[in-house]
Amino acid sequence: MLDVHPPHHAATTWRDFFIHIATIVLGLIIAVGLEQTVEYFHHRHLGAEAHRALIEERRADETSNEFNIFATRRHQQDLQRDLTILHALRAHQPLPPGLFILRHIRYVYAEDNWRKIHQSGTVNYLTEALAPIAYRYENQDAFMARVDRSVEDLYRAGAVLRSEHDLLNTTFEDNLAASNFTRRIADSHETLPQEDIDNGFAKYALTADLTKLSPSQTDTLEHAIQVALVDDDALLTYCFNIKRNLKNNPEH
């Protein structure tokens, strides 16, 4: 803030008095104008930085969304094969070929920048329309909330496949390999050879003896898989909403 200093001598006439007042008012106007100009350019700078951060986050989210579409479709195929296996098991028929996989992998959407500009108030300095951006983030949040719930429900139902004879072989190396596999799929933009994809997903197959399931356990597992397929339909809808939003708003 600029300081405004009035003349050191006292006003002796009305003319001097009004000049004195005018000088103070003019000084205040100049000071306020300069301060607002500085704030304006500062806000423009903050808005430009926030825009660049959101563009970078958009690119990451676009990659995540394409991965989630691919992974959810793959999950649906796995679950449909699981149902075929369970139906054959119930009918006492030979089990069809294929692995029994419940695992649903997904990629987390980046949202740190979107949250930061809201928490800092920088969102007020953005010049672009925020409704399309907010819509995309709402669908991303909805996807993550539903996929987490769906995966938890499905895995809990799959607990009937566990026994006291299972090998406790979960390791950090397996976790790292799974993470690297997920990253390879995302970075490849769906150009990874099918053999590599199948080999990667084969590591998620369950090795339980399905023939030892009781009828009630088979029913429980079958119902959970059917519900998960419905969840996957909803998850794909969120992904397609995001993809459509990205396509219709290339600058946001």
Domain ranges of the chain: 14-248
Q: What is the pLDDT of residue 36?
A: 66
As a whole number of angstroms, the distance between CA 150 and CA 230 comes to 10
Q: SS3 for 206?
A: coil
Q: What is the pLDDT of residue 47?
A: 65
Q: What is the pLDDT of residue 129?
A: 78
Q: What is the pLDDT of residue 1?
A: 47
Q: Are 61 and 183 in contact (CB under 8 A)?
A: no
Q: What is the pLDDT of residue 100?
A: 96
Q: What is the pLDDT of residue 235?
A: 98
Kindly give the parts of the chain with pLDDT less than 70. 1-12, 17-18, 31, 33-47, 125
Structure tokens at 244: 């459509």
Q: Where are the alpha helices (DSSP H) in the chain?
A: 14-90, 112-120, 131-157, 172-188, 194-202, 215-248
Q: What is the pLDDT of residue 26?
A: 73
Q: Is 60 exposed, middle or buried (0-12, 13-18, 19+ CB in 10 A)?
A: middle
Q: Are 184 and 131 in contact (CB under 8 A)?
A: no
